[in-house]
A and B are shown apart, each in its own frame.
Chain A
Amino acid sequence: MQIKSLLFAAFCVLTIAACKKDNDEIKGFGSIEIEFDNQAAGSALVFGKDYTNAAGESLQFTTFDYYISNIVLVTADGARFVVPQEKSYFLCKHDDADTREIKIDDVPAGDYTSIEFMVGIDSAKSVSPIGERTGVLDPAAGANGHYWSWNSGYIFVKMEGTSPVAPPDFGNIFQYHVGLFGGFDSPTLNNLKTIKLTVPDEAAEVREGKGAPHFHLFVDAMAIFSSPTNVSIAATPFSHGDAFSATLSANYVDMFMIDHVHNP
């Protein structure tokens, strides 16, 4: 019996080793970079520049920030690398370019063709004890201005700007703050969205000892205003975690795409 299982184990080891030999370079760990390159109307997003939404309204942006979390990298043959949760929370701010280039280390070598992530902060983290909320999750520091204390949770997407059609009494500003993770003990609206993107052509080649491949993502700020539902600033200038936020999150779910992958 024992000999049999030993033989079987040896066979397995040999088989695996043989397989590994087939793509002999792909082992070890490397890094990967993901850049969130904000766009509007077909070119780089610029605060203060005039844009026109699908409802025909003129607008300018002053804030465009979003949380990215729970990143998963997937290879061509479907192997999934789940980025360890504690390293998987990012707050990307348009006016702070460093926050929009994220680097993930200790990625198993391989050819990655898709990337998955959540826009927002998952429900488990959203209700976690305060001791587990550091960095961009600290409500009084990194998350200050991106956290609702009256409806405890993070503001997944924070978009603000001005428009001549927004109420003049409030300085013509519009504000779209989208959050809500589904509730703790009692249910709430859930605006958490998981995004799955596939590379347009070449895979991101993670190799040990080589530079990090770079996923260059485009994030279309204008997507929040259309598809499937056209959003009018005149009709809805403010949304702070209300029912309308479901319309906004359904619109922005397709604002991400991988423009290209750059291998070093």
Chain B
Amino acid sequence: MNKSTYLIVLFAWIFASCGEKEHDQPFAGPQLPSNFPPPVYDLSLNPVTEAGFALGKKLFYEKALSRDSTIACADCHISFSAFSHPEHPTSHGIDNLFGRRNAIAAQNLIWAKEFFWDGGVPNLDLVPLNAIQSPVEMDANPAVVLERLRQNAQYKAMFKAAFGTEEITTAHFLQSLSQFMAMLVSANSRYDKYVRGESGGDLSSDELAGLAVFKAKCASCHDTDLFTDNSFRNNGILNDFSFDRGRNEVSQLPEDVGKFRVPSLRNVTVTDPYMHNGKFKTLAMVLDHYASGVQDSPTLDPLLRQPDGTLGIPLNAQEKTELIAFLKTLDDETFLRDVRFAQ
């Protein structure tokens, strides 16, 4: 055996054993981090399996889910930006149409109670139907989409592998997408490691100061380690909501005009532009908004009214710097670069 043959054999052996190791490991479902509350989504009704996840992933990247087969879920929910849409203030859909709202990051979805900026969808299983049917997103009839999949031998085989039957039902279609989405757990940021006392969880003094500011001034809405309290609030981004009434369009309750769901701040450095309408390009602009740009309207969140009558959240320059330093610790590189989720 000459040297190079030896090396090849060695590499082959290492490679094979790596593969074997991976293969031997049972498929792990979604990570349930110790610093998160229990999930909202009932995983027992739709256990995540390797085949179901693979099918859901294929569907997430499948353009046949749109009317003219040009748009996939993944076109506006891109893995490396926490499944949000960089550079797009509002979603860019079929026929080059634009929606009214920013494509929200898709992460930690099994902990969400309601979905979309207005909370119009109460169950993860039903989320894809909204995008599929939206006339400015995928504009397809789901019955037509299912029929397309039924004509496809590869899908038939994948549904059989995932659910034990080739029959492609609405439930299995949506449950496989839920299985993919359930896996999109981001909980391994430096902040998480800090909270869980794991190695790699060191925060600098600036970051720790930012965390203290955050807890004092932001956490009443961006609550828990999900960084959202799942509520709907008017954060003073506008004072006229006639273009988009937010939660009111779903609830029809007058007190909900101009209220939008509090978004999570995980991976916030890559989910720009910010706010329901993508108004702000940078985190500094967001903090400037809260410090001095809040606009008044009847449904403005009471937390943005200070006792002295001023609007917003008092933040000085140092606090802003510290907050941004802290927010960067919520970036989760393992999630953003997870090859299981990327195309």
Chain B residues near A185 (CB, 8 Å)? Answer: 113-114, 119, 122, 230
Interface size bracket, B side: 35 or more
Cβ-based interface call for A43 (8 A): no
List the one stretch of B141-149, B154-162, B206-214, B278-286 in contact with chain A: B141-149
Q: Is the CB of A130 within 8 A of B123?
A: yes
Q: Is the CB of B126 within 8 A of A149?
A: yes
Q: Is the CB of B251 within 8 A of A140?
A: no
> Which one of A134, A147, A149, A183 has the greatest number of beta carbons of chain B within 10 Å?
A149
Q: Is the CB of A151 within 8 A of B250?
A: yes
The one of A128, A140, A184 in contact with B114, judged by C-beta atoms closer than 8 angstroms, is A184
List the one stretch of B31-39, B169-177, B313-321 in contact with chain A: B169-177
Question: What are 24 of the A-B contact pairs (CB < 8 Å)?
Answer: A129-B45, A130-B125, A130-B171, A130-B175, A134-B171, A138-B169, A140-B129, A141-B146, A141-B170, A149-B121, A149-B126, A149-B134, A150-B121, A151-B118, A151-B121, A151-B250, A152-B126, A180-B252, A184-B114, A184-B123, A185-B114, A186-B231, A189-B252, A241-B252
A202–B125 Cα distance when bound, in Å, is 47
Q: Mark A117-156, 1 if CB is under 8 A from B, else 0.
A: 0000000000111110110001111001001011110000
Cβ-based interface call for B8 (8 A): no
Q: Mark B219-249, 1 if CB is under 8 A from A, else 0.
A: 0000000000011100000000000000101
Q: Is the CB of A189 within 8 A of B114?
A: no
Q: Is the CB of B130 within 8 A of A149?
A: yes
Query: Which residues of A225-264 are within 8 A (CB) of B?
Result: 241-243, 245-246
Chain B minimum-CB-distance residue to A137: B170
Q: Is the CB of B122 within 8 A of A184?
A: yes
Cβ-based interface call for B132 (8 A): yes
Query: Which residues of A59-81 are within 8 A (CB) of B?
Result: none
Q: Mark B84-128, 1 if CB is under 8 A from A, else 0.
A: 000000000000000000000000000001101011111101100
Cβ-based interface call for A168 (8 A): no
Chain A minimum-CB-distance residue to B42: A129
A144–B232 Cα distance when bound, in Å, is 29
A184–B41 Cα distance when bound, in Å, is 13
CB distance from A140 to the nearest CB of B (A): 4
Cβ-based interface call for B269 (8 A): no
A230–B177 Cα distance when bound, in Å, is 45
Size of interface on A: residues with Cβ below 8 Å to B: 30
CB distance from A143 to the nearest CB of B (A): 9
Residues of B within 8 A of A (CB): 42, 45-46, 113-114, 116, 118-123, 125-126, 129-130, 132-134, 141-143, 145-146, 169-171, 173-175, 230-232, 247, 249-253
Q: Is the CB of A150 within 8 A of B252?
A: no
CB distance from A12 to the nearest CB of B (A): 42
Top 10 A-B pairs ranked by shortest CB distance?
A184-B122, A140-B142, A149-B129, A130-B125, A188-B251, A189-B252, A140-B170, A185-B113, A243-B252, A151-B120
A242–B253 Cα distance when bound, in Å, is 10
Q: Is the CB of B251 within 8 A of A130?
A: no
A166–B230 Cα distance when bound, in Å, is 40
Q: Is the CB of A150 within 8 A of B134?
A: yes
A189–B125 Cα distance when bound, in Å, is 23
The one of A129, A150, A189 in contact with B253, judged by C-beta atoms closer than 8 angstroms, is A189
Q: Is the CB of B175 within 8 A of A131?
A: yes
Chain A residues near B129 (CB, 8 Å)? Answer: 139-140, 147, 149, 152
Q: Is the CB of B46 within 8 A of A129?
A: yes
Q: Is the CB of B113 within 8 A of A184?
A: yes
Given contacts A133-B171, A185-B230, A188-B250, contact A144 B113 (CB under 8 A): no
Q: Is the CB of A187 within 8 A of B253?
A: yes
The one of B42, B45, B118, B133 in contact with A149, judged by C-beta atoms closer than 8 angstroms, is B133
Chain B residues near A243 (CB, 8 Å)? Answer: 252
> Which one of B122, B175, B230 has the greatest number of beta carbons of chain A within 10 Å?
B122
Chain B minimum-CB-distance residue to A184: B122
> Which one of B129, B142, B146, B250 has the greatest number of beta carbons of chain A within 10 Å?
B250
Chain B residues near A241 (CB, 8 Å)? Answer: 252
The one of B46, B143, B251 in contact with A131, judged by C-beta atoms closer than 8 angstroms, is B46
Chain A residues near B173 (CB, 8 Å)? Answer: 140
Given contacts A129-B125, A180-B252, contact A152 B120 (CB under 8 A): yes
11 further interface pairs, Cβ-Cβ under 8 Å (given A129-B45, A141-B143, A241-B252): A127-B122, A133-B170, A140-B142, A140-B145, A149-B126, A149-B129, A151-B120, A184-B123, A185-B230, A243-B252, A246-B252
Chain B residues near A144 (CB, 8 Å)? Answer: 141-143
Chain A minimum-CB-distance residue to B133: A149
Chain B minimum-CB-distance residue to A191: B252
CB distance from A201 to the nearest CB of B (A): 41
A183–B121 Cα distance when bound, in Å, is 10
A133–B125 Cα distance when bound, in Å, is 11
CB distance from A27 to the nearest CB of B (A): 39
